[in-house]
């Protein structure tokens, strides 16, 4: 967690009785890794599925179960615990517990502190498909949403009972993303942003191609953060092994030509375009339909220039706000400035190839009409947050 985000420091995690409680251990591990302080409160039923000892070890805090917990100084844990929290997340939230929330029942510690809270409440439903589809549960979920309680999930998939259907709790990674999205300021709400990411592959024959070392991580970090900040996000991605974030629209583009056509097909609706992908500048003039056999000592391949996606988007009659990326090996700032002027871009982000490609961290310099803004080395997700926050100030000026 970084100071750039307005993440809550303290999360109260409620665990209710359901088989999905086994996922809560991993959820706590991931939340702690992201810098959250996690205080666990379990219902008595939850302790039959996973032990308080496990969750205590992972959270680093004593687990509370009992309304009469003597460890809380004033003997009022239902008030004390919720006052210390920036948010409450109940995961898993059983059908029974959701019904309690809707009707304001307060017959154990977790339901009482949810009723007495002054902070936001998020719930991650988990139950079998019949319970989820039951009209009572559906009414209750609608009521939670009307009461401004955030409902994360559920998912569809295989369930512990052997059924397949809606009702599975979101996976821990998705829940962490849901929590972080909830707390990220929606600076880009109402904006449509397109981002290209990854590398293209220009095929020589059915098995060989020309590509580069771009991992796609920076573009993916921008897409993930744009989603958290409320933008409708379109991701056009090439070859990458990085896990792809959930976005509004995703399109795979294998080659520079594929990426060009995909971008141009969807660009008219966009407010902002980020050209982060490492698009091949050249492609083979001829592509062999059969595998090229090893024969001569020297193989000569004619390469022809690919279209310049970023330059063509920037020169559209009514272009979106265009942000380029310049990955250079030398004279990084100088080349980036030249590229910005040559392509008529309002903003370009300069970074050093050696430190950027494939790494989780990056160090960049934003160059726009106001000058240079250098961002210190940081995780690519944090760089993305700072870039998008800077972008917001530029959009407001335009």
Q: How far apart are CA 189 and CA 181, in angstroms?
A: 12
Which one from 64, 114, 119, 161 is the annotated catalytic residue?
161
Residue whose entry in the numeric block shows the structure tokens 């805090």: 61
315's CB contacts (< 8 A; 6+ apart) are: 344
Known binding residue 281? Answer is yes
For 255-290, the DSSP string reads SHHHHHHHHHHHGGG-SEEEE-SB--SEEESS--SS
Distance, in Å, from the CA atom of 152 to the CA atom of 169, rounded to the nearest integer, reads 9
Q: Is 252 annotated as a binding-site member?
A: no
- 161 carries an active-site annotation: yes
> Would strands 164-168 and 155-158 be described as parallel, antiparallel, or unpaired?
antiparallel
Residue 346: count of CB within 10 angstroms of its CB: 18
392 is in an annotated binding site: no
Distance from CA of residue 383 to its chain's centroid? 13
Give CA 36 to chain center in angstroms.
17
DSSP state of 344: T
- Who contacts 20 (Cβ-Cβ below 8 Å, separation ≥6)? 91, 92, 126, 168, 169
DSSP for 313-339? HHTSSSPPEEEEEEEESSSHHHHHHHH
* Closest CA relative to residue 221, chosen from 351, 104, 99, 335: 351
Q: Which residues pair with 249 in a beta bridge?
A: 234
The three-point CA angle 319-320-321 to 5° equals: 115
Residues 6+ apart with CB under 8 A from 35: 1, 2, 7, 9
Give 379's DSSP letter: E
**Alpha-carbon distances of 96 from 16, 45, 46, 100, 131, rounded to whole Å:** 9, 11, 12, 6, 10
What is residue 179's three-state secondary structure? helix
Cα angle for residues 312, 329, 380 (degrees, 5° grid): 75
Annotated binding site for CTP: 281, 291, 325, 339, 343
Residues labelled catalytic: 161
Cite the annotated binding site by residue number. 281, 291, 325, 339, 343
């Amino acid at each position: 967690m970084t100071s750039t985000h307005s993440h809550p420091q303290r999360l109260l995690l409620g665990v209710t009785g359901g088989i999905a409680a086994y996922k809560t251990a991993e959820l706590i591990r991931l939340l702690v890794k992201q810098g959250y302080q996690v205080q666990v409160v379990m219902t008595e039923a939850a302790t039959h599925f996973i032990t308080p000892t496990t969750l205590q070890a992972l959270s680093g805090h004593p687990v509370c179960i009992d309304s009469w917990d003597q460890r809380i100084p004033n003997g009022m844990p239902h008030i004390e615990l919720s006052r210390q929290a920036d948010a409450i997340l109940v995961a898993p939230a059983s059908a029974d517990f959701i019904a309690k929330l809707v009707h304001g029942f307060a017959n154990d510690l977790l339901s009482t502190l949810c009723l007495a809270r002054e902070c936001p409440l998020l719930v991650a439903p988990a139950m079998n498909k019949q319970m989820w589809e039951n009209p009572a549960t559906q009414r209750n979920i609608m009521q939670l949403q009307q009461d401004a309680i955030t409902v994360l999930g559920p998912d569809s998939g295989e369930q512990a009972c052997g059924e397949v259907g809606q009702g599975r709790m979101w996976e821990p990674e998705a829940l962490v993303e849901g929590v972080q999205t909830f707390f990220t300021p929606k600076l880009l709400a109402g904006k449509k942003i397109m981002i290209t990411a990854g590398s293209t592959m220009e095929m020589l024959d059915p098995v060989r191609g020309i590509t580069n070392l771009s991992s796609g991580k920076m573009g993916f970090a921008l897409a993930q953060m744009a989603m958290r900040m409320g933008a409708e996000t379109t991701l056009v991605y090439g070859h990458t092994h990085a896990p792809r974030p959930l976005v509004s629209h995703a399109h795979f583009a294998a080659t520079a030509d594929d990426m060009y056509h995909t971008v141009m097909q969807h660009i008219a609706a966009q407010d902002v375009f980020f050209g982060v992908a490492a698009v091949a500048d050249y492609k083979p003039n001829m592509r062999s339909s059969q595998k090229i056999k090893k024969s001569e000592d020297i193989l000569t391949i004619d390469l022809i220039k690919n279209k310049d996606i970023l330059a063509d988007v920037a020169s559209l009659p009514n272009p979106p706000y265009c942000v380029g990326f310049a990955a250079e090996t030398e004279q990084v700032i100088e080349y980036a400035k030249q590229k910005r002027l040559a392509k008529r871009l309002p903003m370009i982000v300069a970074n050093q190839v050696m430190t950027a490609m494939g790494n989780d961290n990056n160090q960049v310099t934003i160059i726009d009409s106001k000058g240079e803004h250098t961002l210190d080395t940081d995780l690519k997700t944090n760089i993305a947050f700072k870039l998008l926050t800077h972008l917001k100030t530029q959009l407001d000026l335009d």
